[in-house]
Structure 1
């Protein structure tokens, strides 16, 4: 009997081990509800992507129809990034006020109005007004999509799910390129207006789809609606235990007692957004200061490395490389959009397996090599008396390799990283600041590229972007710790030491760092 019991116990033990093993491996990728929520929220990013893609081709026909200069064209293309600052600055407070979900609806509605205005523009001034309205909607969308997705995602698949906004930006760019090609054969006065006006369609789909989304559990806790937050967490977590743990962490971050299990509680005012700017900018702890520098830095270098110059002005780049036909140039841009979309899809499956740091560093390294090679090939073409097919082919190949390496790391990781590192109380405004830096930098690059190319040559412009990307690689290596696998509430413990920290998430060491940092923070507050 003793032997039989021992065998039975061993068998049960092995079975338990197997039961523990399977969910650990498989469940993180099977939360269909969190997946669906991330898809719907990230659809807002199609708005920016479509505008970037469609304007690259539409600009050719706008210049011919409205008879405007290169300077007016680069202002037209880039100004929407500055207009989006208004939406980004308002989105943090708006999302804390009406919730993440209805902020997404608002973003879609504003962009819808902007797309209609652009599609019916009779002149350059009216077109600029339409871009102003659309830009506000894009600013809202850029800020809220990664924040909502990060807050609804379980830690096991957060990198995968929060990379979706960048996936949809790339999908939107591809749609914009395809739209350019599809409408390019229409009459000059009608073609570019159709290209811009059709952008209203995604915003309508977005407004309808968002009705099926739940509100962010973290926003619900900030509003004291613990019962509603618990329901959402039960649906978006891998296990019931994880849901309970996430709720406990959010309650702690929001200043709600651990033992409080009421469905509705009163939350202190400071947890609903007031005083955040002082904590971010005037009196930050070492960890918050590090987080802010990391978030703003990654947004700056993502855009300063020249991605919008390549995407927005790819027809010009291909023209400089020796492609003269409008149809061929637009087909080449479709190839750019296809490669960007393909590699961003690859990146989504690597974020939670490889980690943020190695993927980002290898991505930026590839961008540096690609953009410097592009600069060399364009310089050779510019100074050559005859058409060099090998240089033309190299230019096209390096444009494709540049957008591919960007999409596999720097593109998605910027949004994933900046949306997950801020503490709950600072997340909405911190993410909004990141978007502001992102859009300002993008606006400066896209509004000056043509003028810069004339001043230092197009090859020289890409040498400059290569130098900036090199500085960015050094910044990422020294300032950005790994965040893969950490809960949003534990993230603060990985920051505060301004040096390379690739092992910032490893077991006991990281826990000790978190404890030391928390102790430091407490001392600072007391003093």
Structure 2
């Protein structure tokens, strides 16, 4: 039976410095991806002007990275089970390095798309592996903070991208967007070497039977020897290894390279695993179905529709989106382990609904006027910032923390990769269709549509997302077990009857 003692033996208020450093390094790959997302908002108009492409090709250039990331995320689950979490991060950084070089060179639209496809596969690997690695080296009390660092990295990267737009757009047209996209190769190459100094995930090592290596790493990422021993005992029990075994290397009976996992996840799941998969797919689906990519990628067009026409002011107000996102994700990382995943995401989506309703209303009002009144412009910008704030205070970080922590060790990488694939599919769908949707139902109508999707998201999260705060990774199957919940409820009812 899996031990429930980890939370009692660890120091819940003390953050392990070594584990934090490892999670920060792993999250650097997310900064690089975030940079690409942010910089594309300013690069797209320059690419359109330089390469003379229409709106459809512009949407394709924006969205193809996410379509390829879908492929990368599906490959990443099995890859990380086979070669380990650390080398998968190295592979992600290497692919993004190659893609950035090709994008920076880009003499034509076709070459640009090739570079974005290569980078996209790397993005898929990065988005899958960074939260999983962070979750697997973290203690239960700090897992929310460390697992949300990749989302913070994305926010910081997007802000850097916006700032790059603001500064590099002043260069000659043929250089500006190429430097914007190509410069990401520098941190990608550095990261690929730095990650090699990081330790492997102790949970992955135990799945390979490498008990001695896992024990040594757990001693580094735990605050006390007792905590490390308790974590080792829980992980061994979950992997089906007898805790009386003290050998450095043991033969693991279960398949350890991810074989047969998809069958267990999709074709013959237990009720508990099915619930986990529905929760992971649902939260990733709604993260982008609620429209955040439209705001991040096309914010200059949104603000232009609202009435900001000066190019310099347009870039400056777009930087405000990046600042808001980064600040709110930073706050979320600090409160996620205190407030809890479920409560934070419900508050987040409720605020998003209100902000999207206001944004849709103000943009519709402006769209029906010859000139935009100042108050309507200010309210549109404020509504956009409010939406970004509410999204990033809850739904953004919780999505990645939640789906990286709920699956059992043997299913975690590939289960999370399915969620990431859905995430990238929805991201691509929004980024590649937003301009067409605006042309069909107006920009105000587009945000009313996202508001409706947010209402559906709130209903889904209320019924399908149990709280996971403070639970060890080995306790998640109990959290998602309906029989366990019914038993606990019956015990409470019996106790209440006895008190009466």
TM-score by length of 2: 0.94
- Structure 2 residue corresponding to 1:187, chosen from 168, 172, 176: 172
Alignment map for 1:317-396 (pairs within 5 Å): 317-396=302-381
Q: Distance in 2 between matches of 1:278 and 1:26?
A: 38
Query: 1:392: Cα distance to partner?
Result: 0.4
Matched, 1:61 2:46: yes
After superposition, the Cα gap between the structure-2 partners of 1:512 and 1:29, relative to the gap in structure 1 and judged at 3 Å, is: farther
CA deviations 1:418-457 (Å, max 9, x no partner) are 0000001100100100100000011001100000000000
Matched, 1:176 2:161: yes
Structure 1 residue 393 displacement after superposition: 0.4
Task: State the distance in 2 between where 1:457 and 1:81 align.
Answer: 25
Tell me which moved more, 41-50 or 360-369: 41-50
Decide which structure has the larger Cα Rg and report it.
Answer: 1
Q: Match for 1:509 among 485, 488, 494?
A: 488
Q: Distance in 2 between matches of 1:462 and 1:490?
A: 39
Does 2:382 align with 1:403? no
Deviating more after overlay: 239-248 vs 371-380? 239-248
Change over 3 Å in CA distance of 1:511–1:170 after alignment to 2: farther
Structure 1 position 297 matched with structure 2 position 276? no
Tell me how far apart the structure 1 counterparts of residues 154 and 238 of structure 2 sit (CA, whole Å): 31
Contact 1:34–1:152 (CA under 8 A) maintained in structure 2: yes
What is the total number of aligned residue pairs between the two structures? 485
**Which position in structure 1 is the counterpart of 2:104?**
119
The alpha-carbon deviation at position 25 of structure 1 amounts to: 10
Secondary structure in 2 matching 1:28: coil
Q: Determine the structure 1 residue equivalent to 2:181.
A: 196
Deviation at 1:415, TM superposition (A): 0.3
Unaligned runs of 5+ in 2: 1-7, 493-500
Assess if the C-alpha contact under 8 Å between 2:12 and 2:141 holds in 1.
no
- Partners of 1:452 and 1:27 lie apart in 2 by 48
Work out whether 1:130 is the aligned partner of 2:115: yes
Offset of residue 75 of structure 1: 1.1
Partner in structure 2 of residue 9 of structure 1: none
Deviation, 1:263, is 0.6
| Offset, 1:270 | 2.0
> Partner residue of 2:461?
476
Contact 2:324 2:389 in 1 (8 A): yes
Distance 1:198 1:467 in 2: 38
**CA–CA separation in structure 1 for the residues paired with 2:58 and 2:36:** 14
For residues 362 and 269 of structure 1, the distance between their equivalents in structure 2, rounded to whole angstroms, comes to 41
Instruction: Evaluate the alpha carbon distance shift between residue 256 and residue 285 of structure 1 in structure 2; reply closer, same or farther with a 3 A threshold.
Output: same
- Tell me if the contact between 1:226 and 1:264 (Cα under 8 Å) persists in the aligned partners: yes
Contact kept in structure 2, 1:493 and 1:511, CA below 8 Å = no
| Separation in structure 1 between the aligned mates of residue 194 and residue 374 of structure 2, nearest angstrom | 48
1:404-443 to 2 correspondences below 5 Å:
404-443=389-428
Bigger CA drift: 469-478 or 232-241?
232-241
Provide the rounded CA distance (Å) in 2 between the counterparts of 1:160 and 1:111.
26
Q: Say if 2:276 and 2:480, in contact at 8 Å, map to a contact too.
A: yes
Contact 1:46–1:202, Cα closer than 8 Å, also in 2? no
Measure the CA separation in 1 of the matches of 2:475 and 2:224: 19
Instruction: Report Cα offsets for 1:50-106 as digits up to 9, x if no partner.
Output: 111010100010011111001110111011100112211111111111110011011
Q: Find 2:268's aligned residue among 283, 290, 298.
A: 283
Q: Relative to 1, partners in 2 of residues 1:161 and 1:337: Cα closer, same or farther, differing over 3 Å?
A: same
Residue in structure 1 matched with residue 3 of structure 2 by the alignment: none
* C-alpha RMSD of the superposition: 1.9
Segments of 4+ moved more than 4 angstroms: 23-27, 510-513
- Per the alignment, in what secondary structure is the counterpart of residue 65 of structure 1? helix
State how far apart, in whole Å, the 2-side matches of 1:248 and 1:272 are: 21
Deviation at 1:268, TM superposition (A): 2.3
Q: 181, 201, 219: which is aligned to 1:234?
A: 219
Aligned with residue 95 of structure 2, among 106, 110, 113: 110
Cα drift, residue 274 of structure 1: 1.1
Q: Which one is further off, 264-273 or 214-223?
A: 264-273
The CA distance in 2 between the partners of 1:31 and 1:510, in whole Å, is: 36
Larger RCO, structures 1/2 (Cα 8 Å, 6+ apart): 2
Q: Distance in 1 between matches of 2:489 and 2:210?
A: 32
User: Is residue 2:140 matched to residue 1:155?
Assistant: yes
**Equivalent position SS for 1:342:** helix
Contact kept, 8 Å, 1:28 with 1:238, in 2: the verdict is: no
| Structure 1 residue 385 displacement after superposition | 2.3
Distance of 1:27 and 1:457 partners within structure 2: 50
Of residues 181, 185, 191, the one that matches 1:206 is 191
Secondary structure of the structure 2 residue equivalent to 1:406? helix
Moved more, 394-403 or 240-249: 240-249
Q: Cα distance, 1:208 vs. partner?
A: 2.6
Superposition deviation, residue 399 in structure 1: 0.8
Q: Aligned to 2:292, which of 307, 315, 319?
A: 307
1:227–1:263 CA contact under 8 A, matched in 2? yes
| Contact kept in structure 2, 1:27 and 1:238, CA below 8 Å | no
1:209: Cα distance to partner? 2.1
Q: CA deviation at 1:271?
A: 3.4
Do structure 1's residue 217 and structure 2's residue 196 form an aligned pair? no
For residue 374 of structure 1, report the CA deviation from its aligned partner.
0.5
Matched position secondary structure for 1:259 = coil
Distance 1:165 1:509 in 2: 35
Distance 1:100 1:206, change over 3 A: same
Could you tell me how far apart the structure 1 residues matched to 2:15 and 2:333 are?
A: 15
Unpaired segments of 5 or more residues in structure 1?
A: 1-22, 514-527
